[in-house]
Chains A and B, each alone.
Chain A
Amino acid sequence: MCSDAAISVRDLNVRRGEKLVLPGISLEIERGAVTGLLGPSGTGKTTLIRAIVGVQIVESGAVTILGEPAGSAGLRARVAYVTQAPSVYRDLTVRENLRYFARILDVPGERIAEVIETVSLGEDADREVDNLSGGQGARVSLATALLGRPEVLVLDEPTVGLDPVLRADLWRTFAGLAAEGATLLISSHVMDEAVHCDRLLLMREGDILAASSPDELLRRTGTRDMGEAFLKLIEEGRSSEAPGA
């Protein structure tokens, strides 16, 4: 284990309702890299992310970000979280939303125009979020998280519903942020997005199947794309289980 990890999760148990969604998982997330959290729908990606940003009630286990326990007051300006469903004020314009979050974070007004540019919403800046498309709304939500230049960015499926051009743009932005030293954790259920990540966490039914770089994973499974690699990992998991189980 490298002590330099930006995020470290140890023996995390999370129960939601009756279901044990995360059954004692451990993982580490590297500083200054883009880590993809990939796995099928309902697997526990959002739950893990919520635990990492400290909004999820957890049963047991430890989550540490930048050396502090998840959810500490000191982390609130250093860690930004974008929820899976856009969480912005739908009755306000893009700019009004950003102005509010900029004031909370105490960042200068110029940042607003910058982040609007980053998410390519320049033409829609003065439209109410209600009148935007789903993908545009998601970008407003993402823009608010970029405002404060956070050290850690946790993004829950930020590229869902976006066209390929915009998606490529955003992945470039993410890579740029990582190059400047930010740590990004980005979830997706689209395996193909793995190619944009420096590191991967493959998740299935609450368990971490693999934690490696994309190349390593392809090499180890002897496959050519992530979808295949993922299936191979599941098969391997099955065959290593007791035959009668």
Chain B
Amino acid sequence: MTEWGPLSLHVPEPPVRPGGTPDFHHLSIPQAGAVRRPPVDVPAHEIHDLAYSIIRVLNRRGEAVGPWDPGLDAEALKAGLRALLKTRAYDARMMMAQRQGKTSFYMPCTGEEAVACGFQTALAKGDMNFPTYRQQGLLIAQDWPLVDMMCQVFSNERDRLLGRQLPVLYSVREAGFFSVSGNLTTQFVQAVGWAMASAISGDTRVAAAWVGEGSTAESDFHAALVFASVYRPPVILNVVNNQWAISSFQGIAGGESATFAARAHGYGIPSMRVDGNDYLAVHAAACWAVARARRNLGPTLIEWVTYRAGAHSTSDDPSRYRPREESDAWPLGDPIERLKNHLIVLGAWSEERHTQLRAEIEDEVLAAAREAEAHGTLHDGPKPSTAAVFEGVYAEMPRHLREQRQEMGV
């Protein structure tokens, strides 16, 4: 025994558990417009404070304020609102489809739609996202056909991934959407490699890496940062901090000791924290980071502060580990409500038009679901080919797989 007494282990605990009153006091939120906007060629060490603040544009009254206002016109804002609504309606429809047995599994991004939707509009054709399973907004914001996405979720005859892959792990090369892996964080470092390839080739394209705050614990995250730091490739390193990794609050990923944006400091990579429920702030920060990448100024790490309002997946029941009311108490609000209010303040929108648009989008999503279902669902109707099991393991099917295919009789 020393004079200090026995040691004990620190095990982080979230502020509240089910039955308690939601508490977000640990999250300090600056006023909208309060954070400065440095030039894109700023050295990393001059913006360390941005990793401990939160860039915000929309204030409580729905006005866009401060240096990060991206100055989007009403048409662009309406397109953004449409993308957010469509993403939410798509998720709701697919959650229902899972309950109806049309698919085995689904993962919604409810509450964090603005992150992917606001980011995508900062990219150009040819750029490549390396998304996780919660960035369906990247596809929806570029009007990728919902029917195509649904056919993957239903694993039907039109599933572009031939029934092989778990629902929501899309792959759409044409839309700059890299094949999603089920293994966390593996793709984060691959995005760095893709960006290095662009630089090696003298190209102009940039890459965007995506990871949840929980998954920053994986070694691949740190490998990505060190490679990005060494080679300064054109990559945006996105950390979506939605507060929860299944049942583990962000403290279990190390969020108590430092912010996730601050992870970049040790690597000399510029980083910032951004209000992920503020479509304007998301878009502005994304443009800033993309501009840096495009101008060969290197990587940027952005921590998007948001909240996973829904379940982790259709296999999850969040009321078992966090208060049911926590979502409503989330201090950064709902991204759709906030963008809607902003448009109303601008005089470009109204509650009536909003209700009407929502109804239109719900019809559009329903029509897409009907069309996709006509091509089959997991247990009903046309199916992907059984022979597809053996194809694509190699470029050319080796003898042993041909034999196994024959044995299966297809």
Partners in one complex: no
